[in-house]
Amino acid sequence: MRKNIFVVFAFLTVLVTYSQETNVVKDTTIVLSNVVNDEEALKRIEAAEKARKKEEKAEKKAEKEEAKVNKLKDAIASKKKDIKKSERKISSYQEKLEVGKRKGKLSPEDELKIGSKISKEKLSILKDTDKLKKLERKL
């Protein structure tokens, strides 16, 4: 981009010098002052572009951070839901176990199966609570 602008300025300076043969000394000083002003304008333009790029980069970073926070919040809500679901399963298994024992309809094998299901759900609750704590720390 600098090369293109420099070429344009050089072309303009050549045109100016050839178009006016009189007052060569005045023309060269004018051209030199124009070139200096143009260089200053280029510096200002480049500084503005750098500032714009920085702002865009900061915006992208903020959006990315916001998306990360939203993802963590969703994961936390999901883990809480999983824990509640497991707690409901445990209570239903315990209810089945108590009703079966009262009525005497459960065999010892059935009692063991229900007991193992309860212990599995308790383990899953423990794992999910650990994961939940880790997610909350990240947030």
pLDDT one-digit tens code per residue, 31-60: 556 666 677 777 888 888 999 999 999 999
- Mean pLDDT confidence for 108-125: 94
Rounded to an integer, what distance in angstroms lies between the CA atom of residue 12 and that of residue 5?
Answer: 10
Rounded to an integer, what distance in angstroms lies between the CA atom of residue 37 and that of residue 43?
Answer: 10
Question: How high is the mean pLDDT of the chain?
Answer: 84
Q: How confident is the model at residue 106 (pLDDT cuts 50, 70, 90)?
A: confident
